[in-house]
Amino acid sequence: MLKIKRVVAASLLVFLPLALFAQNNTNSPYTRYGYGELADRSFGAGRAMGGVGFGMRSPKQINPLNPASYTGMDSLTFLFDFGLAGQLSWFDDGANRQHNINGNFEYAAMQFPLHRRIALSVGILPISYVGYHFGENKTTEGISYTEEFSGSGGLNDLYLGMSIDIWKRRLSVGANVGYLFGNISHNQSVIFTSTGATSSTVSKSMEVKDIKLDLGIQYVHPVGAQENVVFGVAYSPKNKLNTTSYEINVSGNTLEKADTTRNQSFDMPQSIGAGISYVKQNRLTLAADFLYEDWDKAHFFDKSDEFKKRIRVAAGGEFIPAYQNKAFFSRIRYRAGVHYSNSYLRVKNSGYNEYGASVGFGLPLIDNRSFLNLSLEYVKLQPGTKALISEQYFRFTVNYTFNEMWFLKFRVN
């Protein structure tokens, strides 16, 4: 009965964030464009290792970046994983500086075996974030007014994934079928400070409800008694989104225009990711990833020139001084990583490059199976032209991984 209650409690924690994902997790002006800021889809250990995951395979962590990884878990284990994140951000346009603090619930997932060769995972995680609010005071022909821009929302993925071990725990395949949903809204207001002038607001928004598919494969090659190398590939096909867009124009207290459109083209691009990891059991993990996303062929509000191709490379490692040692600091998992990516957004015929470095710790709990994972990441967004804004972030993530011998039955003689 106790274990049933745990399952129910874990399930509630998985679906509770549905209402919370509407909250902003960014203040970046760049989220005014496209689908906003793309989210990091890695969990726990991968987050502190530069966001790697395509070649990662662990019995103690959920890894939705490659659904083939699910069969890496022990056949008697139940995993539950959820994370919180916060960030301190700085923005600089060359003349002005601004800083903001954000925080939010990030993701939740669970994973368990259906068979010694089959594992299932279900969870919810973000695809993108939109959140900004900025403005400027202007004067035209002696009339003073304030022009304000704001936006909020984002896209989320509620997924169900399955992995099958098809050859001797060395070759696995997997797939995630996700329900892609979310709302993104953008507002532009002109507020007149002079008497007699009428203020106006233009609001544009989009609502997404569609299905997302991710496919993965992993191969494990033993190189020693307790050492192996894992090769992984994940692929997501291009998706033409089922989207409804809205536009509302208000002048003063008068509704001037209200349109609803359902036939505009919005796409998510095809993407392919590849990764490799070296694992010395309970001692050392080294991993590297490469991701390619074909954004330049994706439509957005019927336009095909809003985006450009995106690549992301990452590398990281994890070290455990002495896994069996009773000393707490000897059992901590010490992690670090770096990553680079270019922006998928085409802003003023340019964009930005993103550079990041992270460190983290996996703190073992009393049973040495569950972990409290902490990571600190520094990210620099370097624009391709001086006309764009430079951004810097310190991101802090707290992740709890619950690992239980769920299906173990004790025999009494």
**Token pair recorded at residue 260:** 């609803």
Q: Where are the domains of the chain?
A: 2-404
Determine the Cα–Cα distance for residues 383 and 7; give it in Å rounded to an integer.
Answer: 46
pLDDT value, residue 198: 77
pLDDT in tens, 240-252: 999 999 999 888 7
Determine the Cα–Cα distance for residues 245 and 204; give it in Å rounded to an integer.
Answer: 7
Burial pattern 81-92, b for ≥16 Cβ within 10 A else e, equals: bbbebebebebe
Please report the sign of the dihedral spanned by the C-alpha atoms of residue 216, residue 221, residue 224, residue 225.
Answer: positive
Determine the Cα–Cα distance for residues 248 and 35; give it in Å rounded to an integer.
Answer: 19
pLDDT value, residue 227: 96
pLDDT value, residue 25: 74
pLDDT value, residue 44: 84
Determine the Cα–Cα distance for residues 54 and 69; give it in Å rounded to an integer.
Answer: 8
Q: Which residues pair with 288 in a beta bridge?
A: 276, 315
Determine the Cα–Cα distance for residues 112 and 76; give it in Å rounded to an integer.
Answer: 8
Single pTM value for the model: 0.91
**Under a CB-based contact definition with an 8 Å cutoff, are residues 361 and 379 in contact?**
no
First to last CA, the chain: 23
pLDDT, mean of each 10-residue run, the chain (413 residues) = 50 50 72 93 92 95 96 88 91 82 88 93 94 84 83 95 96 97 93 74 93 98 95 97 91 76 91 98 96 95 92 98 90 97 91 96 87 96 89 94 69 48
Concatenating the DSSP letter of every residue in 176-234 gives EEEEEEEEEEEEEEEEE-STT---EEEEEEEEEEEEEEEEEEEEEEE-SSSEEEEEEEE
Q: Quick one: 2-404 is in which CATH superfamily?
A: Outer membrane protein transport protein (OMPP1/FadL/TodX) (2.40.160.60)
Burial pattern 29-39, b for ≥16 Cβ within 10 A else e, equals: bbbbbbbbbbb
**Under a CB-based contact definition with an 8 Å cutoff, are residues 127 and 157 in contact?**
yes
pLDDT value, residue 246: 92
pLDDT value, residue 341: 97
Determine the Cα–Cα distance for residues 334 and 49; give it in Å rounded to an integer.
Answer: 10
Neighbours of 184 (CB within 10 A): 23
Determine the Cα–Cα distance for residues 158 and 176; give it in Å rounded to an integer.
Answer: 10
Determine the Cα–Cα distance for residues 395 and 137; give it in Å rounded to an integer.
Answer: 32
